[in-house]
A = this chain, B = another copy of it.
Amino acid sequence: MQQFTKIQEMKDYLRPMQSAGQKIGLVPTMGYLHEGHLSLIRRAVQESDIAVVSIFVNPIQFGPSEDLAKYPHNLAKDLELIDKTGAAVVFTPDAVEMYGDNHLTFVHVEKITDILCGPFRPGHFQGVATVVNKLFNIVRPDKAYFGQKDGQQAMVIQKMVRDLNMDVTIITCPTVREADGLAMSSRNTYLNVAERSQAPVLYQVLTAAKDMIQGSITDGVLIKKQIKTMISSKPLANIEYISLVDASSFREISQVSGPVMIALAVKFGATRLIDNIIVEG
């Protein structure tokens, strides 16, 4: 497995292979890998000639009051885990390499960043779109892999790729969960024992909402009210938002009449967790 920390070295390594027709799969991550990341990497290995994993804790996607400084990391462990998947390349630039001291260019996706997590994390999706745009230009992947857990992120990246005519196919992979249903996330490590024991309510309410829809309940207000009641029964949970959005237009809906994404963000103490499921409706 090759590791690169410099943008130009990464390009110089990949371009001749690309000229020779090799297909590149990219899995962009912020490290501290869990089984969710590994499922993406394994799929990239399976579908590409060269699977590239990037590890970069992107400062511009964190707000000033967010957890950039304490974001968990363990590069040695990450490299060991990636090596076992058969991925060929790991790209681990630092913030100076990625942004220098005079970065002025940002990619912004409008509207679909104004809902769900957007209002609670101003600038977050601009930071995500910008770094992913850069990674796509550096790596020039044929396919790039993202997790459904960050459903809005996947939508934003998909929209950026289409609007800017980038030559990359975005593959969104199913959320990987713990045995009790909690979506895997690097941030789960922040939870204390009590918080961790209550966090599975997120998947429980998503499943309950899915059951309601499949039981022909189409009233969005009623579904959200039921979700709210269930989450509120957990004393450590603080709801940030509960949303039902059309799964393709990403517009908030009040009536279920087709595929719908049920998405939520809930804080346990200082730890903000997100989850979502798509229901055919």
Contacts and interface: CB of A to CB of B under 8 A. Distances in A.
Contacts of A140: 167
Contact of A166 (B106, B137, B159): B137
Contacts of A163: 103-105, 134
Interface of A: 7, 11, 19, 21, 103-112, 129-130, 133-134, 137-138, 140, 159-160, 163-167
Given A19-B19, A19-B21, A21-B19, A167 B137 contact: yes
B104 A164 contact: no
29 contacts: A11-B167, A19-B19, A19-B21, A103-B163, A104-B110, A104-B111, A104-B112, A104-B159, A104-B163, A105-B109, A105-B110, A105-B129, A105-B159, A105-B160, A105-B163, A105-B164, A106-B107, A106-B108, A106-B110, A107-B108, A107-B164, A108-B108, A130-B164, A134-B163, A137-B164, A137-B165, A137-B166, A137-B167, A140-B167
Contacts of A109: 104-105
Nearest to A7: B165
Nearest to A126: B108
A167 B165 CA distance: 15
The copy count of this chain in the complex is 2
Contacts of A107: 105-108, 164
Nearest to A139: B165
Contacts of A19: 19, 21
Nearest to A140: B167
A76 to B, nearest CB: 27
Contacts of A134: 163-165
Contacts of A7: 165
Nearest to A130: B164
Contacts of A138: 165
Nearest to A166: B137
| Of A11, A106, A110, most B-chain CB atoms within 10 Å | A106
Contacts of A130: 164
A105 B160 CA distance: 6
A254 B222 CA distance: 65
| Of A21, A110, A165, most B-chain CB atoms within 10 Å | A165
| Of A19, A105, A160, most B-chain CB atoms within 10 Å | A105
A106 to B, nearest CB: 5
Given A104-B109, A104-B112, A105-B129, 7 more contacts: A19-B21, A104-B110, A105-B108, A105-B160, A106-B110, A108-B108, A134-B164
